[in-house]
């Protein structure tokens, strides 16, 4: 099942044959004539802000054995062979989708897929089509006519609607057509599955997906992201993903924080239970509401208030009562589906949730 697209192997082979294959090295023990740390400030530890700089891109001076070790620990935890860190989920998706699908390939993506994936696809040279949100029948029709190597991309939990993809069904359909499934787990990492490993791990699907993306700026309370997949995919991204190659590496402090928050979240069953309780409470209280609540079991609960002006006005009224809610406007969401996107947390109290809903209906 763990196939690698032929073009990817060939591109890496070409790089090796032309002696242009890039590998990550650690030269931190040598005298520095390679970093961009012109004033030595990357070594300075400010009392207020701690921290060292990473001094350059991963391929020049920004890589250390520790970075690689952290990546392997993340790969082990998220149950994939390899991991590669990026400065953000946006960078990860941009790099992956602009480099991996080749000319003549097809990318099929859910119509509600995140902007970072759309932008990546747009920078690449493959043909792409959207399918209706979570619509397996439409995806099947698209798969029947797709050409080249086919990549299907979905989110585990959708960032604006908060609903889940039926990953098992997507995996089966992809297998039927020999397509490669990629899952963006930005909103499930930390909160779903055993120790917060995400929806693919919860469903035992890691053997059946090509890659997944976990971001650390959401439930993990940090920033940065990893692309998890085979070691060949990791080699490929190191060589071809421009948002990895041509940017200063994520700082040592941020790398350590990522590992620490993943380990902390693994032990946070109590917080996950509190979050679940709050989601159930919110949904229960909203049952009586006449407003349209987009069906979702996740912390993302969206109340549709059509029209940019109407939803902005509603958000303003609620904010004046002391609750931070944000209006999500067209064109971020489709016209008529403008909404208040409510994010629930483990630490919101019952009283806060009740009062928020009261403020909403007044
Ligand atoms: C589904 C999804 N993917 C990727 C991203 C980008 O992640 P980051 O904020 O780390 O750039 C986000 C949110 O911003 C997201 O919701």
Which residues have C-beta atoms less than 6 Å from ligand 1?
A: 88-90, 93, 114, 116, 155, 159, 184, 186-187, 215, 217, 225
Q: What is the pLDDT at residue 291? A: 92
Q: Which protein residue has the closest C-alpha to ligand 1 atom 7?
A: 89
Atom of ligand 1 nearest to the CA of 116: 4
Over residues 52-95, the pLDDT tens digits come to 899 999 999 999 999 999 999 999 999 999 999 999 999 999 99
CB-based contact 134:165 (threshold 8 Å)? yes
Per-residue model confidence (pLDDT) at position 1: 43
Least confident of 6-20, 42-56, 300-314, 332-346: 42-56
pLDDT digits (tens, 9 = 90+) for 286-311: 998 999 999 999 999 999 999 999 99
Tell me the pLDDT tens digit for each residue of 157-171.
Answer: 999 999 999 999 999
Mean pLDDT across the stretch 203-223?
A: 98
pTM (2 d.p.): 0.96
Q: Determine the 3-state secondary structure of 150 from DSSP.
A: strand
Residue 2: predicted pLDDT? 61
SS3 content of the chain, % helix, strand, coil (to 5): 40, 15, 45
User: pLDDT digits over 130-146, tens only?
Assistant: 999 999 999 999 999 99
CA of 91 to the centre of ligand 1 (A): 9
pLDDT at position 45 is 83
Residue 51 pLDDT greater than 90, yes or no: no
Pick the more confident residue, 44 or 109. Answer: 109
Alpha carbon distance 316, 307 (integer Å): 14
Helix and strand element counts for the chain (H, E): 13, 11
pLDDT computed for residue 50 by the predictor: 73
Average pLDDT, the chain: 96
Q: Give the distance (Å) from ligand 1 centre to CA of residue 28.
A: 32
Closest residue CA from atom 5 of ligand 1: 89
CB atoms within 10 A of CB 304: 16
Q: What's the confidence (pLDDT) of residue 204?
A: 98
pLDDT above 90: residue 44: no
């Amino acid at each position: 099942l763990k196939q690698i697209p032929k073009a990817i192997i060939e591109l890496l082979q070409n790089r090796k044959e032309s002696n242009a294959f890039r590998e990550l090295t650690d030269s931190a023990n040598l005298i520095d004539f390679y970093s961009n740390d012109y004033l030595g400030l990357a070594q300075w530890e400010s009392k207020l802000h701690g921290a060292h700089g990473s001094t350059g891109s991963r391929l020049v001076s920004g890589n250390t054995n520790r970075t690689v070790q952290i990546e392997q620990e993340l790969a082990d935890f998220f149950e994939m062979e390899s991991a590669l860190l990026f400065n953000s989920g946006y960078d990860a998706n941009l790099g992956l989708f602009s480099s991996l699908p080749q000319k003549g390939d097809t990318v099929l993506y859910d119509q509600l897929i995140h902007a970072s994936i759309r932008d990546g696809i747009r920078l690449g040279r493959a043909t792409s089509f959207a399918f209706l949100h979570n619509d397996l029948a439409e995806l099947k029709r698209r798969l029947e006519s797709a050409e080249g190597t086919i990549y299907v991309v979905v989110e585990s939990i959708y960032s604006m609607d908060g609903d889940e993809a039926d990953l098992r069904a997507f995996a089966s359909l992809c297998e039927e057509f020999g397509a490669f499934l990629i899952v963006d787990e930005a909103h499930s990492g930390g909160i779903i599955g055993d120790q917060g490993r995400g929806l693919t791990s919860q469903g035992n699907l890691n053997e059946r997906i090509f890659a997944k993306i976990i971001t650390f700026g959401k439930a993990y309370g940090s920033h940065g992201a990893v692309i998890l997949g085979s070691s060949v995919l990791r080699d490929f991204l190191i060589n071809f993903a421009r948002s990895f190659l041509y940017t200063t590496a994520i700082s040592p402090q941020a790398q350590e924080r990522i590992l620490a928050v993943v380990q902390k979240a693994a032990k946070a069953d109590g917080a996950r239970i509190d979050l679940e309780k709050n989601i159930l409470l919110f949904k229960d209280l909203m049952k009586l509401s006449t407003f349209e609540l987009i069906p979702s079991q996740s912390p993302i609960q969206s109340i549709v208030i059509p029209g940019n002006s109407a939803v902005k006005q509603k958000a303003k009224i609620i904010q004046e009562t002391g609750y931070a809610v944000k209006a999500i406007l067209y064109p971020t969401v489709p016209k008529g589906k403008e909404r208040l996107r409510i994010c629930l947390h483990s630490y919101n109290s019952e009283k806060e949730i009740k009062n928020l809903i009261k403020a909403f209906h007044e």
